[in-house]
Amino acid sequence: MVSKNLSTITKSILYLNVNDKSNFKSECVRRRPMYTNVCKHCHNVFQSKFKTYSCKECKEIDYSQFDDIEAYLKEFPNSNALQISETLGITAYEVLSFIKEGRLNMSKGVFSKLN
């Protein structure tokens, strides 16, 4: 009887230890400041030390898109995301991501046409 009980207890303790170990492991991972990001270009999920909207593979696309947007806005200062998206062939989501990243500003006023 006693030995049977002991073996049950031993088993349950072992089970708990396994649980504690996995908790400890996830605790270690959580302590590292890592961000889970979704690339706005290829939609891959990746981790990085800093919050970013573009993965390493798409950084070049990102730079060239921003250059295009910058040039376009210099020429047509009162453009909205849809106009930029249509003209440059960049998705509106990608254009808006630059606002989230703080690389573009959005004016809340009415879009006025330059005559």
Measured CA to CA, the distance from residue 34 to residue 103 in angstroms comes to 22
Q: Is 95 in the site for Zn ion (CB under 5 A)?
A: no
Counting residues that bind Zn ion (by CB under 5 A) gives: 5
Q: Is 58 in the site for Zn ion (CB under 5 A)?
A: yes
CB of 47 to Zn ion, least distance (A): 13
Q: In 3-state terms, what secondary structure has residue 46?
A: strand
Measured CA to CA, the distance from residue 104 to residue 38 in angstroms comes to 19
Q: Which is nearer to Zn ion, 85 or 97 (CB)?
A: 97
Measured CA to CA, the distance from residue 4 to residue 35 in angstroms comes to 48
CB of 44 to Zn ion, least distance (A): 5
The C-alpha angle with vertex 38 and arms to 33 and 103, in degrees rounded to 5, equals 85
Q: Is 41 in the site for Zn ion (CB under 5 A)?
A: yes
Burial of 51 (0-12, 13-18, 19+ CB in 10 A): exposed
Q: Which is nearer to Zn ion, 55 or 69 (CB)?
A: 55
Q: Is 40 in the site for Zn ion (CB under 5 A)?
A: no
Q: Is 39 in the site for Zn ion (CB under 5 A)?
A: yes
Q: Is 90 in the site for Zn ion (CB under 5 A)?
A: no
- Binding residues for Zn ion, rule: CB under 5 A, are 39, 41-42, 55, 58
